[in-house]
Structure 1
Amino acid sequence: MITALIALIIIFLLCSVPIYVSLGLASFIAVLFFSDIQAMLLIQRLFAGLDQFALMALPLFILAANIMDGGGLSERILRFARALVGHLSGGVAMTTQVSSMFFGALSGSGPATVIAIGKIMYPELLRGGYSKSFSGGLLASAGAVSLIIPPSITLIIYGSVTGVSVGSLFVAGIGAGVVFGLSSILYIYIYARKHNIPKDKKATKREVWETTRKAGWALLIPIIILGGIYSGIFTPTEAAGVSAVYALIISFFVYREMTIKKFYQICVESAITTAQVLVLVAAAQILGWLLTRGQVPQMIATLIAENISTPVMFLLFFNLLLLVLGMFIEGVAAIIVVAPLVFSAAIALGIDPIHLGIIMISNLAIGMYTPPFGLNIFVTQTITNTNMKQMLPGLLSFLGFNLLALLIITYVPEVSLFLLKILQ
């Protein structure tokens, strides 16, 4: 059955069948024609895969992200970031990167970050003397950091699949996300110095204060989320609801850029996005159950134990696998399929499960803008009206520096775990 299942998935993917259809349909065909498992069990697993408390956070964080974008929070974060770094070499591009990191801490969504920041900053980048290739590569890669910085949807999925604490993953993602973002800022600085990109005028203390004050309500959101989780006031799932309500109150009554009509449209968009994610989660859960029933995780764990004896070699193999996989498969699907297969083997080698999750998410963040199928590339193209050939040089440049960050995150566990050790 397992051989038929894997063969069917590969055939469907090569035929450009949507991933959730490929996983779900292949599972049903394999069960119906190549096993004695009752089909009703798959239906039960389909719903059981979604019946998890941690997954309730997904629609709420998606709703919160869309409210923040529509309620004026992203624009104020941009002004705040520009006041901080606009006067440095590469200031406009650094503003884009820093704003994406802040917005990622609000939304947890890569494509949402690309759209929210890119629509405003892409014209500014071109006016600032940056090439289309550089600007496109920056937007696609900057949006990817949202997968790492909490509250990240992919971290929630990893926690639900493996049983690792989502709150601990959120805290660990802060250090890794900062390192990831700093690697891009380093390349921006080098590029700006090499091409003599003009700088912004340095903001006055009054301007810095004003932008900070206006963005302050938005900047409180990650503090509320992480502070609430680690003080024990609410769970990560409850934090998602708190962030959505908080963003709605700020958008309606403080910034006053939200209307009933706009809120209705945001709810519809959030419902569609949630359905797209959860149907993929459900299909992948069926696949994961069948692979577990077929002893595949145990076989992989045995294979790794017999051929890979050190954590260093395991992590090298793990990174290479995920980098390749990330080129073709969306992050949520990759987590649900791969995490259960390697989790036991990694724990046996002494790798911290929280660190393993951050490594996995960092790889998949890079996959978000790696050709040929990185989702952020296609989202960026809708904003910039550029094709893959035009974007490729910029993408590869940021990719090189982000791979350096990945090596640091992988082989220096303290980058991810030092905050956890402080809080414990």
Structure 2
Amino acid sequence: MPEIIVALVLLFALMGIGTPIHVALGLSGLAIFFANGLPATAAVHTIINGTNSFPLIAIPFFIFAGHLMNAAQVTDRIFNFAKAIVGWTPGGLGHVNIGSSVVFAGMSGAAVADAGGLGAIEIKAMKDAGYDKGFAVGVTAASSTIGPIIPPSLPLIIYGVIAEQSIGELFAAGIIPGMLMALSLMAMVAWYAKKRNYPKDAAFSLPRLLSSGKAAIFPMITPAIIVGGIISGVFTPTEAAVAAVAFTIFIGFVVYKTLTWTSLVHAAMNTIKTTASVLMIVSAAALFAWVLTANQVAEHLASGLLTLTDNKVLLLLMIMMIVFSIGFFMETIAAITIIVPLILPVASSVGIDPVHLGIIVILNLMIGLLTPPVGMVLYVLAKVADTPFEKCVKSTLPFLVPLLVVLLLLVFIPQLSLWLPSLLY
């Protein structure tokens, strides 16, 4: 255990001085590796094995599909369609913000992509319509967390690889929780709209709905191709990701003619950068995870928690508190790679379904994206909205309440996440 203390102290010290998370994880792991007299080749093999998984191939393709959607200016069509559906309600653009995130979630699977892609459009539209800028930032930040819950989801793919669970089942398990998140955030928006007398966007118009729906029909088909293909067994998650990229290129070049070779190359370069950063975190976290495994941290954690209680719900609440605390300080992918091998044996020992655990862990970590000091979504929106980071934090805090309510509902009612996978699989 002294080795673990040294590794953790070194990790947080490096993070505290601004060292990138993958470097901090890698150096902390290597320090313990070499302290045990292990050769560098063993460290290299550990790093390679951390990324040597077929389902991980889906990640760059889903990232590429998201970048291509932005390059093809599809986000405007999604936003306009959402306006036609719910823009006529009080606080309409707040609801539009959430609805757009639900649709975009079926394409990108990443909260930061949602915030960066839709955020600029949503915040500007809400500000121009007379909404408070802080409210617009808070809604945009909170709604972006829906992306990694509704399939396809990059964090769920990572979780599935680490926990050795079916990616298809995890994707199916995220659909109802994602919709619950959207409904809870819409309830919050409705409360704010009544309190602050926020305007309706425009009266409901059937012709407008039909025309905007026609303009957005192809983006709307994309989630159906991805999710439907995986759940029906036509595609593996990796094949579905490739199909999403091919379909996006088709509608960008052939249907809308908004995609150019220059924007295609730009999207590809952005994908390479994003994928490289994700896989660097995964490989570095694999090295740090070895330190935890070698020191039997999972066993010690399991025995420690089980001495406190063997009640499934109480144990799950304690696990969520641990995950929530780690989410404050650690990037999502790194947190999944390190936390899951530790908490999965504990959860399994009392009969907690790994698929159920995956959904609530990811939602828990998504809330961490909205909290300092790591809060990546907040940093993105601070740049997009040209707003101080501190104001973004303050504006987002009230919207943590509905997300925490949904998290507790999932803890106490496992069937909210398990019913659909049991029905389909």
- What range is the shorter-chain TM-score in? over 0.9
Residue 322 of structure 1: CA displacement? Answer: 1.8
The aligned residue for residue 25 of structure 2 is 23
SS in structure 1 of the partner of residue 371 of structure 2: coil
What residue identity is the alignment partner of 2:9?
A
Q: How does 1:107-146 map to 2 (within 5 A)?
A: 107-146=108-147
Partner residue, 2:385: 384
Task: Give, in angstroms, the shift of residue 6 of structure 1.
Answer: 2.3
CA contact (8 A) 1:300 1:341 kept: yes
1:331 alignment counterpart: 332
Query: Could you tell me how far apart the structure 1 residues matched to 2:259 and 2:389 are?
Result: 36
CA distance in structure 2 between the partners assigned to 1:337 and 1:308 by the alignment: 23
TM-score, normalization: structure 2? 0.97
Q: Which residue of 2 aligns with 1:356?
A: 357
3-state SS of the aligned residue for 2:147? helix
Matched to 1:52, the amino acid is S
In the alignment, the residues of structure 1 paired with residue 121 and residue 40 of structure 2 have an alpha-carbon distance, to the nearest angstrom, of 50
For residues 3-402 of structure 1, the aligned pairs below 5 Å read 3-32=5-34, 34-402=35-403
Deviation digits for residues 343-382 of structure 1 (CA, Å, limit 9, x no counterpart): 0110111111100000001101111111232100000001
Aligned length: 423
Which has the higher mean CA deviation after the structures are superposed, 63-72 or 314-323?
A: 314-323
- Offset at residue 12 of structure 1 (A): 1.4
Q: Report SS of the residue matched to 1:183.
A: helix
Conservation of the 8 A alpha-carbon contact between 2:64 and 2:267: yes
Contact 1:134/1:393 (<8 A) preserved: no
Instruction: Name 2:415's counterpart in structure 1.
Output: 414
Equivalent pair of 1:132/1:390 in contact (CA under 8 Å): no
The separation in 1 between residues aligned to 2:268 and 2:166, in whole angstroms, is: 29
Q: Note the residue ranges of structure 1 that are not aligned, 5 or more in a row.
A: none
Whole-Å separation in 2 of the counterparts to 1:170 and 1:79: 27
Q: What letter matches 1:27 in structure 2? A: G
Q: Is the Cα–Cα contact under 8 Å of residues 32 and 291 in structure 2 kept in the other structure?
A: no
Q: How far does the alpha carbon of each residue in 1:276-310 deviate from its partner, in whole angstroms, 9 at most, with x for none?
A: 11000000011112211221111111212222211
Amino acid in the other structure paired with 2:148: L
Give the counterpart letter for 1:417 in structure 2. L
Instruction: Give the C-alpha shift of residue 391 in structure 1.
Output: 2.6
Identity value in percent: 35
Aligned with 1:24: secondary structure? helix
**Residue type of the alignment partner of 1:413:** P
Deviations 1:128-160 (A, max 9, x none): 222121111111111121121110100000001
User: How far 1:2 moved relative to its partner?
Assistant: 3.0
Compute the displacement of 1:94 (Å): 0.7
CA distance in 2, matches of 1:319, 1:305: 15
CA distance, structure 1, for counterparts of residue 223 and residue 349 of structure 2: 34
- Amino acid in the other structure paired with 2:341: P
Aligned equivalents of 2:424, 2:313: Cα separation in 1: 27
1:402 deviates by 1.4
Q: 2 CA distance for matches of 1:133 and 1:79? A: 22
- In structure 2, distance between residues paired with 1:13 and 1:389: 20
After the TM superposition, list the runs of 4 or more consecutive aligned residues in structure 1 that deviate by more than 4 angstroms.
Answer: none
Please report how far the alpha carbon of residue 178 of structure 1 lies from its aligned counterpart in structure 2 after TM superposition: 0.8
Displacement, 1:314? 1.1
The match for 1:2 is: 4
Contact 2:134 2:391 in 1 (8 A): yes
Shift of 1:117: 1.1
Name the CA distance, whole Å, in 1 between partners of 2:362 and 2:393.
Answer: 23
Counterpart CA distance in 2 for 1:119 and 1:306 is 49
| Cα deviation, residue 230, structure 1 | 2.2
Change in CA separation of 1:14 and 1:201 when aligned onto 2, cut-off 3 Å: closer
**Whole-angstrom distance in 1 between the partners of 2:417 and 2:166:** 14
Shift of residue 239 of structure 1?
0.9
Q: d(CA) in 1 for partners of 2:187 and 2:102? A: 15
Measure how far apart 1:319 and its partner are.
Answer: 1.7
1:393 to 1:8, Cα distance in 2 relative to 1, 3 A:
closer
TM superposition shift of 1:5? 2.0
Residue 16 of structure 1 aligns to a residue in which SS?
Answer: coil
SS of residue matched to 2:48? helix
The residue identity in structure 1 corresponding to 2:289 is G
Quick one: distance in 1 between partners of 2:9 and 2:395? 36
Report SS of the residue matched to 2:55.
helix
Q: What is the distance in 2 between the residues matched to 1:134 and 1:232?
A: 41
SS at match of 1:203: coil
Give SS of 1:49's match. Answer: helix
Q: 1:319 is paired with a residue of what secondary structure? A: helix
1:194–1:215 CA distance, 2 compared to 1 (3 A): same
Whether the 8 Å contact between 1:133 and 1:392 is mirrored in structure 2 is no
SS in 2 for 1:17: coil
Superposition deviation, residue 3 in structure 1: 3.3
Q: Which runs of 5+ in 2 are unaligned?
A: none
Shift of 1:392: 3.4
Q: Once superposed, what is the RMSD of the aligned Cα atoms?
A: 1.3
1: CA distance, partners of 2:190 / 2:249: 37
Q: Quick one: distance in 2 between partners of 1:94 and 1:126?
A: 14
